[in-house]
Chain A
Amino acid sequence: MSGRDYLGEFEHIIVLALLRLDDRAYGVTVRQEIEFRTNREVSIGAVYATLDRLETKGFVKSHRGDPTPERGGRSKRFFRVTAKGVAAVNRTQRALQRMTEGLDLIRTYS
């Protein structure tokens, strides 16, 4: 297994947001979900740059929705996590758990 099979921090957050949103996941909802859950202002460019990277790696897939009037007649680009993406999240989660095992983070560093 190579190091590339793990997700970076922001990649990890994005994939988790996609899993939470399920079939409602597109640029706006992903950005808002991350802002809501992490209290961190995220730009739409950062979201798309990361999603493009994840798509290149085969972790997510995208498809176009229908054009809507509130978007000036532009279509939404919906994203979905692939089986390979789910496996990558699990691997990353397990690696993080193993790394934090036995560390009393709250008591030691607060």
Chain B
Amino acid sequence: MSREKYRSRISIIVDVLKAIGEEGKDQKLTHILSKANIPYSRLTSLLEELEKLEFIKSVENENKRVYVLTQKGRKYIAEYEKFKRFSEAFGLRI
């Protein structure tokens, strides 16, 4: 796999958080799966981890589990974007 296509763990986390925070509404697992582009088993364990970190929270909505991005999660995405810009400014790939 080329370096261009390789996704680091942190960029996968950010992709999942972005998928959850998209359009400012609660997101279902299927939506997150399609947007984040990672296997189901990996996504579920990652969601548990992100919930423990309080980046997201899960709620029951019409008998379906949906995920909501928290303020802490939004802040994490913003920090990631800032440091990514910094890295790109120096011509370094993360």
Same complex:
no
Listed in ascending order, the chain B residues whose CB lies under 8 Å from chain A are none
Listed in ascending order, the chain A residues whose CB lies under 8 Å from chain B are none
